[in-house]
Structure 1
Amino acid sequence: MRSVVVVGAGLIGTSVGLALTARGVTTHLLDRDPRVARAAAALGAGRTGRPRRPADLAVLAVPPGQVARVLAAVQGEELARIYTDVASVKEVPLTHAAEAGCDLARFVGGHPMAGRETSGPEGARRDLFRGRPWVLTPSARSGGEALDTVLELVALCGARPVVMGHREHDRAVALTSHTPHLVASLLAGTLLRGESDELRLAGQGLRDTTRVAAGDPDLWTDILGDNAEAVLTVLDALHGDLSLAREALRDLARGGPTARPDAAARLRAVLERGVRGRARVPTPGRRPAENAPRVPDAAVSGAARVSRPSQMALPQGVRDGVRPVA
């Protein structure tokens, strides 16, 4: 890969540019705000402006709701031979791209599982993707050249490719990313009711729990809206657990001595579930199996490690699991 165009010079786009330029890839930076592209270029993420001839790859670092429109536009301009995106929702953008008449043979959806709570090029890092999973969601129309090219991008950025179906990806990130962000935002919002003297007691636990709530509200409205059904499923389950905790606390607060042992046991059960669930989160540098029981197939079916692009085989069900339009 010799040349790449990054469309959208925010945190992820600029981090892609930094990683690629460090590997000697000529990287062009485009953004609807030229000042943002110039800021990314000043950090060493590439050069501003379009390439003179079609690049090997265009990386669309735009929100999920903009992927289809931008893909149609840049394909119409022949900006590159192959196209991918980095949006954190996959099924809705793919459906819209198909409806817009995009050439899906030259497109492979992607989502690097890395980020920071800050936005904009200033928060970008060259090593942001190193060792992190980078999900690829090829559709039924994705060509072999497109998949190999995007796999090369992942390797150049130092990430670990994982292939999933679109729905499987969206369900997985609803559980591991989207709902946690929403819950962190809800928790952080309760702090608006606190007095200044109370907030002076805030410790690292609160900072850790609410860190991601600092994310861009416009971007996260787009993300949550495009993955609303999957997020709602997780939120409904969380609502049930929250109700159990609330009822136990109510009984502890209002119940007599005979009610306390039962209520305390119910509250402890909620906390124990949290301990078990937390243990299932993989430790960086280790595979999930080394930490905890395997995630049920229903949650992440179709996932696979990829070694060499030339020997790439899509997991069973990935192509059949996408919508017919794909």
Structure 2
Amino acid sequence: MSEVLTGPVEVVGTGLLGTSVGLALARAGVEVLLTDVSSEHVRTASGLGAGRPRTAEDRPQLVVVAVPPDLLGAVISDALEATAGTDAVVTDVGSVKTRPLVELTGHPEVDRYVGGHPMAGSERSGPLAASAALFDGRPWAISPHTDARPDAVALVTALAERCGAVPVVLEPGEHDRAVARISHVPHLMAALVAGRLADAPGDHLALSGQGVRDVTRVAGGDPTLYGQIVSANAGAVLDLLAEVRARLEEVIGALAVGDREVLEALLAEGVAGTRAIPGKHGGPVRPTRTVFVSVPDHPGELARLFADAGEAGVNIEDVRIDHDPGRPVGLVELVVAETSADHLLGSLESRGWVTHR
């Protein structure tokens, strides 16, 4: 078995992730074969340049399974059987790594399987949402099991690198605990908060601002898909939900008796958590400040704002746009280094921008 990815690579499932894998590999000059139960998806992905339909004569070096979580174990098993007697490696892009392994228990060729999970995606789905740049600079978890062949692990690592991602090796159980913490439980929390808005009175919703949009953004994902994802990782998710429930009960208790010290301690824990998230380029979080600028809702205004910030010599770390119903302009939040904020405010005001201090 070669550790060098030469292709062809078969992608089974041409939705957002599968088609993006095909596009990224095609960009890197690797031949891609496409398979899907939906011939329309294959035609669409092929038309986008993600590869060509697989034929019976094709012999893939690597098979990438990109199907919904409920189907992962069965489709990985099918891929191993379809390539029996060869050195073809099988991997997947599923968000849970333990359950497929359990379903593959006893499979005679499981040593050719190595789990993978690119930490990239979108609230959109289907091949038309795909992008060759989806994985660029993003972590790609490689989760070898104890029986996985080292050369198979090397080939899956090469796949992540050819797609532009950064490989991160985690054993399957640790991977599942990690994604429960940074993805699955946050998604459930966002859904719980967003659910309280569904039947809210209109005058309550009229007060909505960027804060509630930030907290609830991921709740807009496909309920069927995320239901499968969370269910497949139930053990790790339940452990963390128990911790969250305990802290929530502390909040309720503190509010009930007016214990501000306990409440502030819990809020400070949240601040510490936000600061624990890696900063730009994986480095430490640096102090930032938000500069608020009113921007007319006309073509070209954002470009002018960014150009003026560039003329001021200030690097924009992040940007958000808030369109409140009662405001005739957009409020743009420019996140910059704390030491640059006052200089940027003065520079923008001198160029006629309306800022909010």
Same structural fold, with TM-score higher than 0.5 when normalized by the shorter chain: yes
In structure 2, what is the equivalent of residue 208 of structure 1? 214
Q: Where do 5+ consecutive residues of structure 1 fail to align?
A: 253-262, 293-326
Q: Does 2:226 correspond to 1:220?
A: yes
The match for 1:45 among 41, 50, 55 is 50
**Does structure 1 conserve the Cα–Cα contact (< 8 Å) formed by 2:14 and 2:45?**
yes
- Displacement after TM superposition at 1:41 (Å): 2.1
Indicate the residue corresponding to 1:88 in structure 2.
95
**Is the 2:80–2:110 contact (alpha carbons within 8 Å) kept by the matching residues of 1?**
no
Q: Aligned ranges for residues 1-326 of structure 1 at < 5 Å?
A: 1-50=6-55, 52-78=57-83, 81-99=88-106, 101=107, 103-252=109-258, 263-287=259-283, 290-291=284-285
More strand by share: 2
Q: What secondary structure does 2:177 align onto?
A: helix
Aligned partners of 2:16 and 2:130 also within 8 Å: yes
Structure 1 residue 102, shift from structure 2 partner: 5.2
Partner AA of 2:44 in structure 1: A
Measure how far apart 1:12 and its partner are.
1.0
Query: What displacement does 1:276 show?
Result: 0.5
TM-score (norm 2): 0.74
Amino acid at match of 1:97: L
Name the counterpart of 1:322.
none
Distance 2:168 2:53 in 1: 31
Taking the aligned partners of 1:103 and 1:211, their CA distance within structure 2 comes to: 41
Query: Which residue number in structure 1 is paired with residue 354 of structure 2?
Result: none
Q: Is the 8 A contact 2:80 2:112 kept in 1?
A: no
* Aligned residue type for 1:224: V
Q: Partners of 1:17 and 1:11 in 2: how far apart?
A: 10
- Whole-Å Cα distance in 1 between the matches of residues 56 and 25 of structure 2? 16
Aligned identity (percent) is 43
Q: Is the 8 A contact 1:5 1:50 kept in 2?
A: no
C-alpha distance in structure 1 between counterparts of 2:120 and 2:280, whole Å: 12
Higher relative contact order (CA 8 A, sep 6+): 1
Deviation at 1:171, TM superposition (A): 0.9
Q: Aligned partners of 1:85, 1:237: CA distance in 2, in Å?
A: 30
Instruction: Report the Cα distance in structure 1 between the residues aligned to 2:44 and 2:217, rounded to whole angstroms.
Output: 25
C-alpha separation in 2, matches of 1:264 and 1:149: 54
State the match for 1:324 in structure 2.
Answer: none
Q: Report the CA distance between 1:50 and its aligned residue.
A: 3.6
Deviates more, 1:228-237 or 1:26-35: 26-35
> Relative to 1, partners in 2 of residues 1:102 and 1:117: Cα closer, same or farther, differing over 3 Å?
farther
Deviating beyond 4 angstroms after TM superposition, the runs of 4 or more aligned structure 1 residues are none
Cα deviation, residue 69, structure 1: 0.6
Q: Distance in 1 between matches of 2:58 and 2:51?
A: 16
SS in 1 for 2:168: strand
Separation of aligned partners in 1, 2:59 and 2:278: 40
Residue 159 of structure 1, CA deviation:
0.8
- Give SS of 2:83's match: coil
Paired with 1:58 and 1:124, the residues of 2 have a C-alpha distance of 19
Letter of the aligned partner of 1:268 in structure 2?
E
Distance, in Å, in 2 between the alignment partners of 1:51 and 1:21 is: 21
Q: Is the 8 A contact 2:116 2:142 kept in 1?
A: yes
Asked if structure 2 preserves the Cα contact closer than 8 Å seen for 1:119 and 1:215, the reply is no
Report the alpha carbon displacement of residue 237 of structure 1 after superposing the two structures with TM.
0.7
Equivalent pairs, count:
279
Give the CA deviation at 1:53: 2.1
Q: Which amino acid aligns with 1:84?
A: T
Query: What is the Cα deviation at residue 122 of structure 1?
Result: 2.2
